[in-house]
Chains A and B, each alone.
Chain A
């Protein structure tokens, strides 16, 4: 319906409107005979133009597998050997334009075309659809790197092994058991009292998460002190005592 109204409008004041549309449609249209025909057909069809750039890569290495997709596969364009592109015969509306290549990643851009053929490019925001952050038009699509399709294989290293939570859980308590009696002077009555208090807190407390927090606190607290002798040899005295 919108289109019909617009077309009648166009017929009424054809001179101005046709001229406005003209600059967007055909730069290289022939003289004479074709003019009336072309304006009727192109009356509400426009051209989206732009340039795609992959920094540091020659265009001829990637253009053959690149495509310009406008709103899914509704309109399709191809990239010229110099990296520029144009998608012809697009009616007015709002479209998401993307450059699709299997190797490089491009950010999509939303292009709004008014019924008069005015173009505007903005960032794609699917959540706040009416938000306008202007982009350059004709479009400047710059690849932000190659696609990362692959996961890195987990490589094994000593640090990974040691930093593994399970290992940490096993090793740290062991260290605490071994080292705490050495670090803390158990003969000190004040310390003993404190210890007893904390033990009392541990046992009857039904709220379990707090205990775990306490444990972690304990661990983190003792870390600094335990690090001093945290070599595997440090465990041997404990074995000796038994």
Chain B
């Protein structure tokens, strides 16, 4: 008997990258434990005959009760947050990204603001005391929203956006837009504020060929001038000294600097040329300091050049005495003789620096430093770190949730079973002692609860540290392991959002693809949990492995194999070595397979199972989807191949099912009490294609359901006059996908459900190789009134809880849409049977109700991914949404049916109990009196 498995391995949404997904097919003889084992049970919904009579008699009442229950059920599927739950188990962290420009707000002495413009096209204001955001504006992604320059004057901040396309002025106090104008096209070079007699009223914008001057109050253009000789001279900088003149500095590399001065009023030109044969780039090596003093550094001659822009004589050279061994991370202060400011030279990425006079006239300083790992640190006077922001978390690539380890005492108890028995009595004693320890711990816990309860709530602080980390009763608190694009790994406590460990990986290629795998969970006690991160250069295909402990972030002592060949794919098998680490198979471009860990035991297991391990590779460039089988010598053989003509369509995504998903019910009970069995093929892949022709009339998207083991196409559907981006969720026996309809200009959802029919072919086990009947396919489509950013389905431990779709919207909301609304069996006309089945009548438009937003007003900007993980409670699913922000919460798709709710009314229950108790007492007394009276009568 054969069972196939689909390992849902990673999948990179980059067309230039070869997509690979893996299926393996293993022959499990009998009782091998597995996540994917699909157990079939015959369910009889008919009552025995002797009960039928009775049933009829009570049916009328039952019907009524049933109807009421249905009402309750229907209502209960509508999930929402209660107001008193805000912040109870959810948290949000807002980020801005890697800083490009920053500016301390200095116009008010006591201002606590620092303005930041980042490479993620975010403009934000941060509190310098705490590092929290005052406000933040998230612009378009891509070059249109790119911030080119940031200037500040008073309470206005002027931004040049989109390669000099737009000029915006923001009010930094309230974070609102003052004005916004569109500039003429032309590549942006530089911008500066222009002052005259101590008042700044204009801003100058320098482009490749023109310079324009705008009023600071409303953005209107005062004048625009073409630059002279702009074909030969590369104008790079603009400067104004406050004397009514605007200086534009251009350079002809290795020849001379051209200085063009414009008068503020009418833009008249004064021109000057100064020979500077050593200079090639003004922006990189020059700065204007003090009163119009242009200072340039010549690194070849190790000297400074200064030039007074107002006088415009020759450049004066100042030789420098710089230590020859310039360490990259060191400060160099140079005091210039005739300029009253100092230059700071640093190997660190110093984003903002400001010095100020303190009350006692001593010079204070504050600095904001951004390091390579995108950490923003704010330092004040005596070298005190005020705050740090981990801006790397604005770009989370992938994440996993790992169970926390048991507490020491629990682990002690657990360890008891691992050891060899050394006698009945000693075992008993050990058991008693460990239970004593547990009792002690419990009493201590109770005492703490009692003690904390007396203190006001705000004072009770549960500081989470890596030491006191332990699994809670229902496994609701987990470790979030997050991988960011910068190559920094984070371990975050899911309950509070505290960063518990961080690890920066050096020399990560800029275009790296990451895949995080949990090789060993915390369940195998003496062995530490183990995660493996595969880092792959997308260009060369060369990969490295980083093995670490997900709880402490430490690098594991296990040395991963060196991968010399470009990697095509990696896949996790459910087979384990003696140390309970799951085996990772790595497929290189020669289609050779290597295993990690590759102990003898593992290789032996692999050889035994090789004939039933299948995987597939996707090559989107050639539109090829091919299935392979593993040979006993760890080479591979091609089994099937599907080619999509690349001139017509291209493969955009391939989705398998999640390997840790459980399906509880094998079928659906119909209105007539028969069962419609689900087609639960664990090897099913959903392949989405988009047409290469993007004309709205001819474009289409296609969806193929393919069995990953045999390559059999189970179903194929094409949606005409539609285009991507397509978001797909594939789970249980359904596939939900969302696309853009070019014909009706709206977003549409489509759902495909697969059923085996009224009978199961083989009820004990599923095999792709032995399924003669094609499944019944049902499909329905709906209109969705918003575009979406990402989509994921909830996941629970046993799969009993109904499923919801979590949809990230561009507005920042995370919508929890019951799967019930995306059911292809929704009837257009309600019949008695469909009513019995609780089907909702078909309506073309899906509604967005604001109660369904699981993150209420805690919007998540640019949500890129949603991660769901089951908890120890069947009703509860942990959700992490990441994008620019990170938001963590819990959802209860069928409400909290297995724990008492927050609003459980203890008072009511106890008062009712007491009332009943007293009522019985009183009535007993009354009855006694009455009996006595009757006896007398």
Residue A57, interface by CB 8 Å: no
Residue numbers in A under 8 Å from B802 (CB-CB): none
Contact indicator B63/A98 (Cβ below 8 Å): no
What is the chain A residue whose CB lies nearest that of B56? A208
B interface secondary structure, majority: mixed
Residue A237, interface by CB 8 Å: no
Q: A67-B138, A88-B180, A100-B811 are in contact. Are A212 and B60 (CB under 8 A)?
A: yes
Q: A69-B811, A126-B744 are in contact. Are A215 and B60 (CB under 8 A)?
A: yes
Using CB atoms and an 8 Å cutoff, list the residues of chain B in contact with chain A: 56, 59-61, 63-65, 68, 80-84, 135, 137-141, 144-145, 162, 165-166, 168, 171, 174-182, 184-186, 210, 212, 219-221, 223-226, 695, 744-746, 783, 785-787, 789, 810-812, 844-845, 850-851, 853, 856-859, 862, 903, 905, 908
Residue A65, interface by CB 8 Å: yes
Contact indicator B744/A81 (Cβ below 8 Å): no
Interface residues of A in 53-75 (CB under 8 A from B): 59-60, 63-65, 67, 69, 71-75
The one of A31, A94, A148, A208 in contact with B851, judged by C-beta atoms closer than 8 angstroms, is A148
The one of B80, B140, B174, B220 in contact with A73, judged by C-beta atoms closer than 8 angstroms, is B140
Residue numbers in B under 8 Å from A166 (CB-CB): 65, 68
Contact indicator A149/B857 (Cβ below 8 Å): yes
- A173-198: contact bitstring with B at CB < 8 Å (1 yes, 0 no)? 00000000000000000000000000
The one of B138, B224, B746, B851 in contact with A129, judged by C-beta atoms closer than 8 angstroms, is B746
7 cross-chain CB contacts under 8 A: A34-B210, A38-B184, A41-B184, A64-B137, A148-B850, A149-B80, A166-B68
Binds B, one of A13-21, A135-143, A151-159: A151-159
Residue numbers in B under 8 Å from A42 (CB-CB): 182
The one of B137, B185, B789, B810 in contact with A78, judged by C-beta atoms closer than 8 angstroms, is B137
The one of B140, B745, B812, B862 in contact with A100, judged by C-beta atoms closer than 8 angstroms, is B812
The one of B137, B178, B695, B845 in contact with A127, judged by C-beta atoms closer than 8 angstroms, is B845
Residue numbers in A under 8 Å from B210 (CB-CB): 33-34
For A34, A108, A147, A215, the residue with the greatest tally of chain B CB atoms inside 10 Å of its CB is A34
Question: Nearest-CB distance from B443 to chain A (Å)?
Answer: 34
What 8 pairs across the A-B complex have the smallest Cβ distances? Answer: A64-B175, A72-B787, A81-B176, A149-B856, A102-B857, A63-B176, A41-B185, A151-B80
Residue numbers in A under 8 Å from B82 (CB-CB): 150-151, 153
Question: Nearest-CB distance from B754 to chain A (Å)?
Answer: 28
For A47, A105, A166, the residue with the greatest tally of chain B CB atoms inside 10 Å of its CB is A166
Residue numbers in A under 8 Å from B903 (CB-CB): 153-154
Residue A30, interface by CB 8 Å: yes
- Docked pose: A28 CA to B744 CA in angstroms: 36
Contact indicator A33/B140 (Cβ below 8 Å): no
- Docked pose: A239 CA to B787 CA in angstroms: 65
Contact indicator A147/B221 (Cβ below 8 Å): no
The one of A59, A100, A124, A208 in contact with B63, judged by C-beta atoms closer than 8 angstroms, is A208
Contact indicator B140/A75 (Cβ below 8 Å): yes
- Docked pose: A88 CA to B175 CA in angstroms: 20
Residue numbers in A under 8 Å from B789 (CB-CB): 73
Using CB atoms and an 8 Å cutoff, list the residues of chain A in contact with chain B: 1, 25-26, 28-34, 37-38, 40-42, 47, 59-60, 63-65, 67, 69, 71-76, 78-81, 85-86, 88-89, 94, 98, 100, 102-103, 105, 108, 124, 126-127, 129, 147-151, 153-154, 156, 165-166, 169, 206, 208-209, 211-212, 215
Question: Nearest-CB distance from A91 to chain B (Å)?
Answer: 12
- Docked pose: A42 CA to B181 CA in angstroms: 13
What is the chain B residue whose CB lies nearest that of A73? B810
What is the chain A residue whose CB lies nearest that of B135? A64
- Docked pose: A44 CA to B850 CA in angstroms: 37
- Docked pose: A63 CA to B135 CA in angstroms: 10
- Docked pose: A32 CA to B210 CA in angstroms: 12
- Docked pose: A26 CA to B80 CA in angstroms: 46
Contact indicator B81/A28 (Cβ below 8 Å): no
What is the chain A residue whose CB lies nearest that of B184? A34
- Docked pose: A67 CA to B695 CA in angstroms: 30
Contact indicator B63/A69 (Cβ below 8 Å): no
Residue numbers in B under 8 Å from A150 (CB-CB): 80-83, 851, 856
- Docked pose: A26 CA to B223 CA in angstroms: 15
Contact indicator A149/B224 (Cβ below 8 Å): no
Question: Nearest-CB distance from A9 to chain B (Å)?
Answer: 20
Residue numbers in B under 8 Å from A105 (CB-CB): 850
What is the chain A residue whose CB lies nearest that of B186? A37
Question: Nearest-CB distance from B893 to chain A (Å)?
Answer: 15
- Docked pose: A154 CA to B82 CA in angstroms: 10
- Docked pose: A98 CA to B809 CA in angstroms: 13
Contact indicator B857/A30 (Cβ below 8 Å): no
Contact indicator A33/B138 (Cβ below 8 Å): no
What is the chain A residue whose CB lies nearest that of B746? A126
Question: Nearest-CB distance from B806 to chain A (Å)?
Answer: 16
- Docked pose: A16 CA to B222 CA in angstroms: 27
Question: Nearest-CB distance from A102 to chain B (Å)?
Answer: 4
- Docked pose: A47 CA to B395 CA in angstroms: 31
Contact indicator B84/A153 (Cβ below 8 Å): yes
